[in-house]
């Protein structure tokens, strides 16, 4: 059974933008950690962003240097959905992007995430 559903991928040119969505039905986004990971052909899956909410819905986000100032993670609690806004895309951003959920505290480790989506392809051409 698919627990998380990603959408919004596609083929774009360098410098363009995309917004990825991750639907998390049946989950209350507050008090969960959500992550976005990506996997390029022949490469290991790596983290691109995480977000953790307090019980007052105050969020804390993480970005590695590779996407800092270009990608932004956000959420819509009413829709049980998290987003990844990707600006100034580069060819090296080409990968399958995965959404993941963790029931514990914030983590950038793939093994710490409990539930995964099937992924959405992002292709950036020069």
| pLDDT at site 76 | 87
Residues in the chain: 126
- The pLDDT value given to residue 23: 92
| pLDDT for the residue 25 | 82
Residue 54: what pLDDT?
A: 61
Question: Can you give the pLDDT at residue 94?
Answer: 98
Widest distance between CA atoms in the chain: 43
pLDDT along the chain (126 residues), means of 10: 84 98 82 92 95 72 95 89 97 97 87 94 97
What is the structure's pLDDT at 44?
96
Q: Given CA atoms 37, 31, 18, 11 in this order, what sign does their dihedral have?
A: positive
Q: Distance between CA 38 and CA 45 in Å, rounded?
A: 5
Q: Output the pLDDT for position 62.
A: 92
| Distance (Å, whole) CA 54 – CA 31 | 6
For the beta carbon of residue 103, count every other beta carbon within 10 angstroms.
Answer: 12
Own/partner pairs, 47-56, CB within 8 angstroms, 24+ separation: 47/108, 47/110, 48/84, 48/97, 49/73, 49/84, 50/106, 50/107, 50/108, 51/75, 51/82, 52/105, 52/106, 53/29, 54/30, 55/30, 55/31
Alpha carbon distance 124, 88 (integer Å): 10
């Amino acid at each position: 059974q698919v627990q998380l559903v990603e959408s919004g991928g596609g083929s774009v040119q360098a410098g363009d933008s995309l917004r990825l969505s991750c639907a998390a039905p049946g989950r209350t986004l507050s008090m969960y950690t959500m992550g976005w990971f990506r996997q390029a052909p022949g490469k290991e899956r790596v983290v691109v962003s995480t977000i953790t909410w307090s019980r007052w819905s105050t969020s804390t986000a993480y970005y590695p240097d590779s996407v800092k100032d270009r990608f932004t993670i956000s959420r819509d609690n009413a829709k049980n959905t998290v987003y990844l806004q990707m600006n100034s895309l580069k060819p090296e951003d080409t990968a399958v992007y995965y959404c993941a959920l963790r029931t514990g505290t914030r983590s950038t480790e793939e093994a710490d995430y409990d539930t995964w989506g099937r992924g959405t392809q992002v292709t950036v051409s020069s």
